[in-house]
A and B are shown apart, each in its own frame.
Chain A
Amino acid sequence: MVTATNKGSEATMGSIDAALKPRLRLRTRSEYAGWVLSILVGIGILVSVLTNPNFKWGVVAQYFTHESILRGLMLTIFLTLASMALGTLLGLGLAIMRSSHVKPVSIAAGIYITLFRGTPVLVQLIFWFNISALYPNLTIGIPFTDIGTAIDMNALMAPITAALVGLTLNEAAYMAEIIRGGFSSVGKGQIEAADSLGMSAGMRMRKVIIPQAMPSIIPATGNQVIGMFKGTSLVSVLGVAELLQSAQLIYARTYETIPLLIVASLWYLVMTLLLSYPQSKLEQKYSRTTSRLPRKAKKVVLTEPEGTLR
């Protein structure tokens, strides 16, 4: 008697219906080798990290929520937010200048962008820190001074100001290019439509170009925030007591260099991961280029005989 299950297949090829048999992937020898090797290396590193007493995980735990570390973290967050905010505003201005029809204005913005993107941030920070050597009487002639003094009570004002100025001016150059890229993603037809309605240049910018440029600007800006968060560690060379410098100040005293660097790294990692989540959400939301539908759009009810969706 043939059973119902193998009616369609040869009895010699097993009891399952051939049409229902799963199709298995080929696993090569190198794939197995890859598994074994990765696991071995992973276990090796883990064992080494956990058993090597020099890591001093107890010290890491002790300093992870140490007051001066947390204060440094706050300063790092402040520097990130402040220089991103100011850098974005300045970058917007530069982007508008860069796309200006007036050649000298456009060239001026171009030179700024080239200079600030073409030199290392570290050099720029030290430069602003030592600007008094160039202009002794104009040391605080940059209009971010009030913000520096008003918010920070802990560290010295001058290094913080230099840090803020340096980071802001550098970020502005990058943001200018991001924003300009967003502008050029808006079609020429949109500008012509705005012009033919008689819109002024400012109105056109605010109501037509910027809203449409946002989807390409926002995800890139999110990336910049994450980069900036880690980039603030550079201002430790100016003696600003941000996260890294706070750790350095402690290990200069206790000689527990590695544990404190781990403390700082863990905080950078935690913050970066915290920022990555909204960033990936932003990217998902704005990457759907096929549907250029604003969020607040109502659902289309397909009641029209001709069909309302293309």
Chain B
Amino acid sequence: MSNDGTILAQKIRKSFGPKTVLKDINLDIASGEICCIIGPSGSGKSTILRCINGLETVDSGVLKVNGEDFGYYETAHAYHAHSPKKLAEQRTRVGMVFQQFNLFPNMTALENVMSGPVLVKGADKKQSAKRAQELLASVGLAGFGDYYPAQLSGGQQQRVAIARSLAMDPEIMLFDEPTSALDPEKVGEVLAVMKDLAKKGMTMVVVTHEMGFAREVADSLIFMDDGYVVERGDAREVLSNPQEARTQAFLQQVL
């Protein structure tokens, strides 16, 4: 636990059947760093994020999250899978925000935010409810606790989803295209919450198409294509002065 909030990936490979999605991924994200990942669809950006949260397992390579080997423990000859309990414990330290929000529709906003602490950590219900109210207030949704996800707009749902992840007190937050499923007018409210979070020193990895957000908030930027990290560096530097031809071509398309 010495170096909380860090992510280290070396030579990560990941295939789905015959298709190799991640070919040679090397990452080094420091504690408190805001890292944006951009790239064309199918480049493996979402997959690497899902690997960091254990939703996918990597085929080979080193993956250390929060300073620990993630999902596996290393012996002299192999990596052995952790027990579900240990994996769950590691996952609680990494929050994930999905493109489709994935709030539990059978729970109110408040219950959604409480679900992690109460159901997983066995925390006290009253205290968790109080904490959940505070978290909802911090994402600008004070008083919305009794609403069900179906009663909330997309932007509001995504903010509840962020609060739900934060309720677990993770060291790292992962965002998988958090604004892609939103109406354009609701994008701003979610980005504002994320900016707030960035100021608080949370390690954040954001897969996004919001170049404006990347330029304004991100410390580092990674451009991925075809399972490789093509270019990485200071966010503003890469966006204004890309070195690789592939990056230049992509940025010309989207900017």
Cβ contacts under 8 Å, A187 to chain B: 102
Cβ contacts under 8 Å, B55 to chain A: 192, 195-196
B119/A207 in contact, CB under 8 A? yes
Cβ contacts under 8 Å, B148 to chain A: 293-294, 297
A211 sits at the interface (CB 8 A) = yes
A201 sits at the interface (CB 8 A) = yes
Residue of A nearest to B112 (CB): A193
Most buried by B among A193, A194, A310: A193
Query: Known: A297-B148, A308-B156, A310-B153. Contact between A197 and B116, CB under 8 A?
Result: yes
Identify which of B102, B156, B164 contacts A192 (C-beta below 8 A). B102
A31 sits at the interface (CB 8 A) = no
B54 sits at the interface (CB 8 A) = yes
Residue of A nearest to B164 (CB): A197
A310/B103 in contact, CB under 8 A? no
Cβ contacts under 8 Å, A195 to chain B: 54-55, 91
Query: Known: A196-B96, A197-B120. Contact between A189 and B102, CB under 8 A?
Result: yes
Cβ contacts under 8 Å, A28 to chain B: none
Chain B interface size range: 35 or more
Residue of A nearest to B189 (CB): A306
Q: Closest CB of chain A to B120's CB: distance in Å?
A: 5
Interface string of B86-117 (1 = CB under 8 A from A): 00110110111010101111101000000110
Interface string of A275-291 (1 = CB under 8 A from B): 00000000000000001
Give the distance in Å from the alpha carbon of A189 to the alpha carbon of B95 in the complex: 15
B105/A203 in contact, CB under 8 A? no
Q: Closest CB of chain A to B144's CB: distance in Å?
A: 8
B85/A193 in contact, CB under 8 A? no
Cβ contacts under 8 Å, A298 to chain B: 146-147
A201/B150 in contact, CB under 8 A? no
B220 sits at the interface (CB 8 A) = no
Give the distance in Å from the alpha carbon of A208 to the alpha carbon of B107 in the complex: 9
Q: Closest CB of chain A to B138's CB: distance in Å?
A: 18
B106/A211 in contact, CB under 8 A? yes
Interface of chain B residues 131 through 171 with chain A (CB within 8 A): 144, 146-148, 150-154, 156, 161, 164-165, 168
Q: Closest CB of chain A to B133's CB: distance in Å?
A: 16
A300 sits at the interface (CB 8 A) = yes
Give the distance in Å from the alpha carbon of A292 to the alpha carbon of B103 in the complex: 12
A5 sits at the interface (CB 8 A) = no
Identify which of A190, A291, A293, A306 contacts B102 (C-beta below 8 A). A190
Give the distance in Å from the alpha carbon of A192 to the alpha carbon of B49 in the complex: 13
Give the distance in Å from the alpha carbon of A195 to the alpha carbon of B90 in the complex: 11
B153/A308 in contact, CB under 8 A? yes
Cβ contacts under 8 Å, B66 to chain A: none
Cβ contacts under 8 Å, A297 to chain B: 108, 147-148, 150-151
Identify which of B85, B89, B104, B164 contacts A190 (C-beta below 8 A). B104
Give the distance in Å from the alpha carbon of A162 to the alpha carbon of B61 in the complex: 58
B212 sits at the interface (CB 8 A) = no
Interface string of A178-218 (1 = CB under 8 A from B): 00000000010110111111111101000110011000000
A196/B95 in contact, CB under 8 A? yes
Residue of B nearest to A194 (CB): B104
B53 sits at the interface (CB 8 A) = yes
Interface of chain B residues 49 through 103 with chain A (CB within 8 A): 53-55, 84-85, 88-89, 91-92, 94-96, 98, 100, 102-103
Identify which of B108, B120, B151, B164 contacts A198 (C-beta below 8 A). B120
A198/B102 in contact, CB under 8 A? no
Cβ contacts under 8 Å, A201 to chain B: 84
Residue of A nearest to B54 (CB): A195
A22 sits at the interface (CB 8 A) = no
Known: A193-B98, A193-B161, A308-B151. 17 other contacts (CB 8 A): A189-B98, A193-B96, A195-B55, A195-B91, A196-B53, A196-B91, A197-B119, A197-B164, A198-B89, A198-B91, A199-B120, A200-B85, A207-B119, A212-B106, A292-B105, A292-B150, A293-B148
13 contacts between A and B (CB under 8 A): A187-B102, A189-B100, A190-B104, A193-B102, A194-B104, A196-B53, A197-B91, A197-B168, A198-B89, A199-B119, A200-B84, A201-B84, A298-B146
Instruction: Identify the B interface with A (CB < 8 A).
Output: 53-55, 84-85, 88-89, 91-92, 94-96, 98, 100, 102-106, 108, 115-116, 119-120, 144, 146-148, 150-154, 156, 161, 164-165, 168
Closest 7 CB pairs of A and B: A193-B102, A198-B92, A198-B88, A196-B96, A189-B102, A211-B106, A198-B91
